[in-house]
Amino acid sequence: MTSIKEVTHVTEIDHLDGKGNGRAMIWRESDRGSNPRKLKLTIPQTLIGESVQVVIEDSEKRRRKVMFEEILVASPERTVAPCPHFELCGGCVWQHWTYEGQLKHKTEQVKNALLSEGFDPELVLDTIGMDDPWHYRNKMEFTFSIEGDMGMHEQGDFRKIIPLETCLIAGRNMVDGMLEVGEWVKEFGLKGYDKEAHVGLLRHLMVRESFATGEMMLALFATETPDGELASAVENLVERITKKFPNVKSLLWLVNTDWADRTQSEDTHLLAGRDFIYDEMAGYRYRLWFDTFFQTNPKQAQKLVDLALEMGKPKEDEKMIDLFCGVGTFSLPFAARVKELAGIEIVETSIESAKRNAIDNDLHNTTFLARDARTGLDEMHDQFGFADILLVDPPRCGAGGRVMRRIGRSQPKRIVYVSCCPETFATDIAELLPFGYKLQTVQPVDLFPHTVHVECVALLELEK
């Protein structure tokens, strides 16, 4: 049997990929006497400009992912990751990078995306960061291993679960709740779900917390109902959670037998409290169910809303359309400032939530429509008329050319684009240029410190 030859190489990180990993290249000598071969490397937890030593198994592969053996020349922006799980856990990728360095990189990321579509990168302002970039998430989804350990997926391997003792990006109360549920699982010897064999009980734990109201939700996703042989264990869970965590206003047991690894429910059992919690943003109250999309970093999301209002300059005699409106995160603050507002969103449960949230906040000048963006715009133009202001807040895949061209043809005076992906943002707004729009400003905002993601709010105005 031929042994695998390992060779040590020294290389320099020249850029980061879309997942935040360092990228480098080496040249390998060929055993066949031909010219040296190029090998492209993906090296996690490295930074641009660093010189690293790696050990490579000799093979014919042209790309490979490896961990560095040693950092020979470290970046001045390298720092010690404070989380004990960082090297394995897939929740964060940049804890080894100073926060100032992360913010500078995110600004450049937005500038490069706009430059690729011919826009002036000088329109991009410095990324707005957080004073304290830790414990900022108000929602987390933890996964159970087959043995019943609860944690996060390992970096690059969704089959392995890293058991957690803490989490530095989740709210502190959420971590306490997660650890309590983990102790309960171990105490009763409950098993997790095997994704390959499709057997086992516990799949996920979702934790939501409102930093404004203090209310918290714990939602267990399992393959069986919480009765029969599970009744005594579930009764114990309810007792210990309600006793130790009076801020838990919603304790749910959600049955999911589908093979797809998603936090979805076929049958919802309310164990304690109500099936939603209250949250607040920009002075408005929202009801959040387990499947409600809501900004996961409330402090920075508030800045998004403030920026959108500042750029949009809503007036009392104007009409507005909020495209991809969700539960009304942007709709409600704008509705209080315009004559009429219409929201469009494809998810029907979100539209029902938006309607209810408007009523809860005593706003009666809103219309919400459950449609996809393209047909929804056409229907809303027929029913509601054309908007003076249009806000678009699409998913990471962007709104798409057809939707953007429909927006351009409708000629709103001002377009506020809230983006969670610089690349799709740049391609989307490029579609507006033939319709007479000019990009005025772009403000990046960091909603997810220690990850690759960056949001931004931009203003485009119709030039007469």
pLDDT over 70 at 176, yes or no: yes
> In 10 A of CB 174, how many CB atoms?
23
Distance CA 461, CA 312 (A): 10
Q: Is the residue at 233 inside a domain?
A: yes
Banded model confidence at residue 4, pLDDT cuts 50, 70, 90: low
Q: Is the residue at 291 inside a domain?
A: no
Question: Which of 281, 304, 319 represents a domain boundary (last residue)?
Answer: 281
Do 306 and 255 belong to one domain?
A: no
Strand partners, 269: 253
Do 264 and 390 belong to one domain?
A: no
Q: Which of 453, 377, 419 is nearest to 429 (CA)?
A: 419
Token reading at 195: 């994704």
Task: List the catalytic residue out of 89, 420, 421, 456.
Answer: 420
Distances, alpha carbon 402 to alpha carbons 344, 426, 446, in Å? 16, 15, 29
Residues composing the chain:
464
Question: Which of 246, 281, 316 represents a domain boundary (last residue)?
Answer: 281
> In 10 A of CB 263, how many CB atoms?
16
Do 256 and 339 belong to one domain?
A: no
Q: What is the pLDDT of residue 30?
A: 64
CB 247 within 8 A of CB 215: yes
User: What does the pLDDT average to over 265-270?
Assistant: 90
Q: For the domain that residue 13 is a member of, what is the CATH number?
A: 2.40.50.140
Do 259 and 225 belong to one domain?
A: yes
pLDDT over 80 at 35, yes or no: no
Do 274 and 339 belong to one domain?
A: no
Token reading at 161: 């679960």
Banded model confidence at residue 56, pLDDT cuts 50, 70, 90: confident
Q: Is the residue at 10 inside a domain?
A: yes
Distance CA 239, CA 220 (A): 15
Q: Find the angle CA(414)-CA(415)-CA(416) to the nearest 5 degrees.
A: 120
Do 148 and 125 belong to one domain?
A: no
Backbone angles phi, psi at 7, to 5 degrees: -125, 135
Do 248 and 306 belong to one domain?
A: no
Banded model confidence at residue 7, pLDDT cuts 50, 70, 90: confident
Domain that holds residue 320: 103-131+296-462
Q: Is the residue at 90 inside a domain?
A: no
pLDDT in tens, 382-434: 989 899 999 999 999 999 999 999 999 999 999 999 999 999 999 999 999 99
pLDDT in tens, 118-134: 999 999 999 999 999 99
CB 52 within 8 A of CB 70: yes
User: What does the pLDDT average to over 267-274?
Assistant: 96
User: What does the pLDDT average to over 7-22?
Assistant: 92
Q: Is the residue at 125 inside a domain?
A: yes
Q: Which of 253, 170, 184, 259 is nearest to 219 (CA)?
A: 253
Do 243 and 327 belong to one domain?
A: no
Q: Which of 180, 247, 183 is nearest to 215 (CA)?
A: 247
Question: Which of 257, 281, 305 represents a domain boundary (last residue)?
Answer: 281
Q: Is the residue at 231 inside a domain?
A: yes
Tell me the whole-structure pTM to 2 decimals: 0.92
Token reading at 412: 């709103």
Do 108 and 167 belong to one domain?
A: no
Do 341 and 434 belong to one domain?
A: yes
458 burial type by CB count under 10 A (0-12 exposed, 13-18 middle, 19+ buried): buried
Regarding predicted confidence, which is higher, 7 or 186? 186
Do 372 and 263 belong to one domain?
A: no
Q: Is the residue at 310 inside a domain?
A: yes
User: What does the pLDDT average to over 92-100?
Assistant: 96
DSSP β-ladder status, 6-12 and 22-28: unpaired
Q: What is the pLDDT of residue 136?
A: 97
Name the average pLDDT for the chain: 93
How many domains in the chain? 3
Do 174 and 66 belong to one domain?
A: no
Q: Is the residue at 288 inside a domain?
A: no
Distance CA 132, CA 56 (A): 39
Q: What is the pLDDT of residue 202?
A: 96
Q: For the domain that residue 330 is a member of, what is the CATH number?
A: 3.40.50.150
pLDDT over 80 at 60, yes or no: no
**Whether 420 is catalytic:** yes
Q: What is the pLDDT of residue 1?
A: 45
Token reading at 354: 């938006």
CB 12 within 8 A of CB 54: no
